Amino acid sequence: RYLYVCHAELNAILNKNSSSVKDCRIYVALFPCNECSKLIIQSGIRKVLYYCDKYSETTSIIASKRLLTMAGVEYEEYRPKMNAITIDFTAIL
C-alpha cells in the first residue's frame, strides 16, 4: 500500500499556504524516510521535529539521517507536554 500513497511530508510541503518553507520547521509523527528527507532539504526546511523513530535501524532512516546531517538540517525528537489536544469546533461557530 505504501507504494501508492504520498507520505505526509510530501503532502505538507506541496500543500503549504505560504510561497516558501525556507528556514521553517516540520513536525512529523515518524522520522522521515530518505526520499522525504531529500524533499525537506530541497525545500529549505531547517529543522525536523519527529515524535517516533521506530524504524531507526532501517537503511532508509540511516540514509535519511546522513542526508539531513550533511545538508545541515537539524532533527530532534519532539516531546509534547500534553497527551492530547481537544478542538471544540462548536466554539468556533
Question: The domain that contains 39 carries what CATH number?
Answer: 3.40.140.10
Cβ count near 8 (within 10 Å): 15
Q: Mean of the per-residue pLDDT values for the chain?
A: 93
User: How far is the C-alpha of 20 from the C-alpha of 43, rounded, in Å?
Assistant: 8
| CA 46 to centroid of chain Cα atoms | 11
Total domain count for the chain? 1
Residue 90 lies in a domain: no
Domain-embedded: residue 87: no
* The three three-digit cell numbers of residue 61, written as one number: 532512516
pLDDT at 1 over 70: no
Identify whether 9 is a catalytic site residue.
yes
Question: Mean of the pLDDT values across residues 67-80?
Answer: 98
DSSP label at residue 63: H
Candidate list 9, 74, 76, 77, residue with the active-site label? 9
| CA atoms lying within 13 Å on the CB side of residue 63 | 9
Q: Is the pLDDT of residue 19 over 90?
A: no
Domain that holds residue 41: 2-79
Is residue 84 in some structural domain? no
Whether 28 maps to a domain, the answer reads yes
Residue 2 has pLDDT above 80, yes or no: no
- What grid cell was written down for 85? 489536544
